[in-house]
Amino acid sequence: MRPVLYSIKSKIVIFAMIATLLPTAGLGLLSFKQNEALIIDSVTRELRVLADNINRQLDLWLTEHTQAIRALSTSNPVIEGLSTLKKQADNPNQGMARQTQTMMSGYLISVKDKLDEVLELTVFDHTRKPIASSAAHTPEVPESPERWTHTSLTKGIIAIPPRWNERYDTATFTVIYPVFSYDSQVIGSIAATLNLGRFQRTLLEIKKFSSGEITLLDQNSKVLFSSAASVDHLTSVDPRHLETLPILEESVTHDGLVYQKAITLLHSSENLPVAFLVEQDQSTIQVSWEKLRNRFLEFVGILIVIVTSVALYMGHSIVTPLNRLISAVKEVVEGNLDIYLPVKRRDEVGQLTAIFNQMTDALRNKRAEITAANQAMQQQNQLLQKLSITDGLTGLYNRAKLNTILVEQLARFKRNDRAFCLLMIDVDYFKNINDQLGHIMGDKILVTVASVLQKSIRTVDYAARYGGDEFMAILIETHSSAAIRTAERIRSEVSAACRAFEEHPVEITLSIGIAQSHPDDTTPGDLIARADVALYEAKRLGRNRVHCIDAT
C-alpha cells in the first residue's frame, strides 16, 4: 500500500489548509493578477480579431478589383488595338494610329465610368510608352516595366504603392498587368489607379462592432485614412515609434494617434504594402488596475515569504513533473511520437507517466499503419482520377471529359458572349496506313498528332481524342479567323513531324473542320455536329485542308 504522503490528493489538502489561514491576502493577490491578465488578454484578443477582420476585408476588396483589371487586360478591344498599333510600327500610318488610339481612349473612359473604384486607366504599347488613357492629364505611370518576372506575368505588379494622391485627393495605388496577343506574346500593358479611399467605408462598418479605432498606414508610415474623425492623412506618425510595435502578437501600451494612452497592435497586410494600426483607450483599464493594486500592496510584503515557500515546494513536488508531462504531450500533438519519460515516482504522476509511455508506443504503431494505408489510397485515387478523364494512348482528354468542357464553355459563352471555336481533326486515310504499316506505326502517328496538337494551342485551350483517329481542340475566346490560322499550323507541323520519323518516314495529312460557337448552340452535340459537317466538307474538297463552316 502506498504511503499517504505520496499521493497528490494529500499534498493538495496540506496546501489548502495553509491557504485557508491566509484567505484575504492570498486570494486578493491572485484575483488581482488574474484580472490584470484577463483584461490585457481580452483587449489583445479583441484588437487581434479586429485586425484579422480588416485584413480579410482588404484582401477581398483587393482581389475583386484587381481581377476586374486583369479581365480588362484580356479584353478584345485592348488586345486588338495593341495588335493593330504593333503591326503599324513597320508600316506607319499616322491617321490610322491616331484613330486606333482615340477608340482605345474612348473604351477606357467607358470602362472607368462603370468601375467606381477605378480613377484612371492607361494602356502602354510594346515600346513601354502610353498610347491611350482615360485621363485628360499626364498618366500616373509614365511607362510600363522594362522586364516582367514570371510572377508578374500572371499576377501583375503594383506600379505605385498605396499613398495619398494629391491629384485625386484620396488614397490610391496603381496596378499594372501585361497584355498578351492571341498567340501569347506580350504586346503591351494596362495600368489602373484604384481609389483605396473607398475602402474607408468598409473600415467604418467594421468599426461599428468594436470599441477600437483603426488607422491605415502606407509603407512609409504615413496615414492614409482612419476610422477616427480626428486622424487624417495630415497626421504625422513617428516611424521609430512604430518599430517598437510587434506584428499581431502582443499588444503594447504607448502614446496613440487617437488616444493619449492606448493599447495598440500593428498588423501588416500580406497582399498590399500597408499596415493596420488598431488602438483602444487604456485609461479606463488603468483606473481599475490602480485601485485593485493599491488595496493589496500593503499585504503583499507580509505574505510574500510564506507564499514563496509554499510555491517552491509545490512547484518542485507537483508542477515540475506535470510540466514535463505537458511538454511531452505538446510534442505528441505536434507529431513527435519518439518521446519516453522515465518513471521515477510512485504516486499518481508516476502512474500517469507510465500510461503516457504506453500511449506513445500505441500511437507510433497506429501512425505507421495509417501512413502506409493513406499513401496507397492516394496513389490509387490519383491513378483513377487520371484514367477517368484522359486517353490512355495519347494522354489527351477523353471524349467524356471533352463533353464536360464543352458544356462549361457553352455556359460561359451564354454569360459573357465571348465566342470560342471547336476544331475536329481527322487523319487522312488512316485505316489504309494502319493496314499497310501496322498498328504500332499507327499508334506512333496518333501520339505524334496528339503531341503537335498539345504544343500548338495555348495553355488555356483544350485538346482531346474524340475516338479512333479523330481529335478535337477547343480554342477559348477565339474567333474563326484565328482558329483557321491555328488549324493550318497544326496541319503543317503534323505533316513535318511524321516525315521526320527515323525508322519509317511517312507522309501524313490532316483534314480539319472548324465551327464557331453560336447563340443557338444549346448542347455539345449541336457544336460537334457543325464541326463534323465542316470536316466532311474538307474531305469532300480533297482532304489535307482546313474548312470553317462559320468563316466570313
Query: Is residue 279 a part of any domain in this protein?
Result: yes
State the first-to-last Cα distance of the chain, in angstroms, to the nearest integer: 101
Q: Report pLDDT digits (tens) over 366-412.
A: 877 787 777 878 777 666 666 678 888 888 999 999 999 999 999 99
Does residue 179 form part of some domain? yes
Task: Give yes or no: residues 151 and 235 share one domain.
Answer: no
Shared domain check, 403 and 537: yes
Split into its structural domains, the chain has a count of: 3
pLDDT band at 1 (very low <50, low <70, confident <90, very high): very low
Identify whether residues 102 and 233 lie together within a single domain.
no
Task: Tell me the three cell numbers of residue 228.
Answer: 477616427
Tell me the average pLDDT across 211-232.
82
Burial 407-437 (b: 16+ CB within 10 A, else e): eebbeebeeeebbbbbbbbbbbebeebbeee
| Residue where a domain terminates, one of 159, 180, 199 | 199
Domain assignment of residue 12, yes or no: no
User: Looking at residue 411, which CATH number applies to its domain?
Assistant: 3.30.70.270
Residues whose CB falls within 8 Å of the CB of residue 429, separated by 6 or more in sequence, listed in order: 543
Ranked by mean pLDDT, which of 204-213, 325-334, 446-455, 501-510 comes out on top?
446-455
Residues 183 and 219 in one domain: no
Task: Return the H-helix or E-strand segment holding 277.
Answer: strand 275-281
Average pLDDT for 3-19:
59
Would you tell me the crossing angle of helices 348-389 and 399-416 to the nearest 10 degrees?
90
Kindly tell me if the per-residue pLDDT of 462 is higher than 90.
yes
pLDDT digits (tens, 9 = 90+) for 66-120: 888 888 888 888 888 888 888 876 666 677 878 888 888 888 889 888 888 898 9
In this structure, are 233 and 102 located in the same domain?
A: no
pTM greater than the 0.85 cutoff: no
Residue spans of alpha helices (H) in 233-276:
239-243
502's grid cell: 527515323
Residues 6+ apart with CB under 8 A from 73: 177, 178, 179, 180, 189, 190
Residue 154 CB partners (closer than 8 Å, separation 6+) = none
Mean pLDDT for the stretch of residues 414-443: 92
**Of 137, 172, 199, the domain-final residue:** 199
pLDDT score for 269: 82
Note the pLDDT of residue 512: 96
Provide the pLDDT confidence category of residue 28 given band limits of 50, 70 and 90.
Answer: low
Print the domain residue range for 454. 399-548
Residues 170 and 255 in one domain: no
Q: What cell was used for 39?
A: 483584461
pLDDT band at residue 29 under the 50/70/90 scheme: low
How far is 140 from 128, CA to CA, in rounded Å?
A: 14
Contact yes or no for 481/469 (Cβ under 8 A): no
Q: Which comes out higher in pLDDT, residue 329 or 316?
A: 329
438 C-beta neighbours (distance < 10 Å), count: 12
Domain boundary among 226, 258, 284: 284
**Average pLDDT of the chain to the nearest whole number:** 81
The mean-pLDDT minimum among 118-132, 235-249, 496-510 falls in 235-249
The answer to whether residue 533 scores a pLDDT higher than 90 is yes
126: which 3 cell numbers?
A: 510594346
What CA–CA distance (Å, rounded) separates 398 from 389? 6
Residues across the chain: 552
| pLDDT higher than 90, residue 278 | no
Q: Residue 233: which CATH number?
A: 3.30.450.20
The answer to whether residue 352 sits within a structural domain is no
Q: Quick one: 173 and 184 in the same domain?
A: yes
Q: What is the pLDDT of residue 457?
A: 93
Three-class SS of residue 49? helix
252 and 168 co-located in one domain: no
With respect to residue 310, please indicate whether it lies within any of the assigned structural domains.
no
Residue 499 is assigned to a structural domain of this protein: yes
In the chain, % of residues over pLDDT 70: 80
Residue whose cell numbers read 476586374: 68
Is residue 6 situated within a structural domain? no
- Looking at the fold, whether 488 and 473 belong to one and the same domain comes out as yes
Same domain, 180 and 224: no
By the 10 Å C-beta count (0-12 exposed, 13-18 middle, 19+ buried), 496 is classed as exposed
In a shared domain, residues 148 and 275: no
Let me know whether 501 and 542 are in one domain: yes
| Structure-block grid coordinates of residue 134 | 482615360
Which has more confidence, 250 or 152? 152
In a domain, 37, yes or no: no
